[in-house]
Chain A
């Protein structure tokens, strides 16, 4: 007997078997805990995916949403081009593209099917211009003013209302999903903890006996940790497939509708690994966290 020596290797099969049988002893509560955890994961996942898509849409808009700075009429093309250095020197300017009057006219013409509209139109009625993209779209107003102050630049066009609107949407989505994630996370942990508390309460006498004969806290804790782990893992696997179905259905509806054409949809195939990873990690964290918080009070024997 080596009873004063630390315990032998981790008895994995024993602990998992105990954890499994605990799950089945409280079949209904385990079922409820799994259901609630799935619901929480789905809500968390859905909101996070909304945020992901809002972000993708915004990134696309940021790319499209350029500032146009028109060069004053009196300048030659060479003088106008030279203004490019000054614009690049302005803070928050990412890239600029010089567009001559001729090119601008050609672009306009190309946009309209009825090209006769522009026939015979002189390119001199248009101005040379710079298409400017920004580093940070939220600083659009300040950047616009700085560019407007450059000698030789006339009007500066920017759709700051549109961009600030999208920024607001993104920020709200982010805040809501973070708040929701933390609340739902705690709710799930609480539910799983209570399910496992039932098991632990059922087995409080067994636990007291184990501790009396000299079981370590670790030994007593393991079956409950595995119970939580298995509950969380099962929930996350089911939730993942449900999320997949839900996402496919919703995105199919959106892409089939012209009103939503402004939204950039991230295909599930591009993100499934991350979704799976986050679900499994969250499920395991919820399960193990729940079991550890449940068992704590029963170890004080």
Chain B
């Protein structure tokens, strides 16, 4: 479970990346985060992984209170998260299999756990049979599958992907998104940051939109309101009609 309450983030150079952001992601949810360039999407991810800390507001991630987390606890927070980036970030000199081993060793997994877990995860992402390849012997889509496998290998509660399909053609992108959705169906919470609104519209999933460091649209807001009469935390005025179109338009402006 992730909960950001009235979060502000100002970088040392004075850039105000987040301005009173409220966001709650329940366990097992699948959620897209969209928004123009510079709206603060990557900053949200860095907050969740403990890479940067909020200037103000409360941040809760998978049971860790990031407002008063100790330095030594951050590795244990990160073990609850699997992070995926646009540029894959694989170790070029290591085979697919050894990239997995590297990630498991880093958290102290035993040889036995490693032998058991890696084949299962590689099969899940559709890379069984390619485990001895080096990253540059794989297509971009396959490399991103390796990155997804690595994110999954330590069995995280939440997968966080920052533009995972930014370097891929539309067909490969769809494959990757479908894979992430399948992983979500197996019980993992998934947060995907993306620019590709065509892609977003193909999935009937929750979409939140950032602008200037706040959530300006949340497709779940209507449903939430219907369930409970709770006030929307951001208090943002929203036009209910044609919301998906508005999301698409304003996100495109940022590209």
The interface of chain A, by Cβ under 8 A from chain B, is 1, 3-4, 7-8, 11, 14, 205-206, 208-217, 219, 301
Contacts and interface: CB of A to CB of B under 8 A. Distances in A.
A219 B154 contact: no
B42 interface: no
Given A3-B79, A209-B89, A209-B103, A214 B154 contact: yes
A212 B80 CA distance: 11
B79 A214 contact: yes
A3 B75 CA distance: 10
B192 to A, nearest CB: 17
Given A209-B103, A213-B107, 10 more contacts: A3-B155, A206-B102, A209-B89, A211-B75, A212-B89, A213-B78, A213-B106, A213-B150, A214-B75, A215-B75
B105 A216 contact: no
Given A205-B89, A212-B49, A219 B106 contact: yes
Interface residues of B, number: 25
A208 B75 CA distance: 12
A210 B102 CA distance: 8
12 contacts: A1-B109, A1-B154, A7-B107, A11-B105, A210-B102, A213-B106, A214-B76, A214-B77, A214-B79, A214-B106, A215-B106, A219-B108
Given A212-B78, A214-B79, A215-B75, A14 B51 contact: no
Contact of B76 (A3, A14, A206, A211): A3
B155 A1 contact: yes
A11 B108 CA distance: 8
Given A213-B103, A301-B51, A206 B75 contact: no
A218 to B, nearest CB: 9
Interface string B98-114: 00001101111110010
A68 to B, nearest CB: 71
Nearest to A208: B89
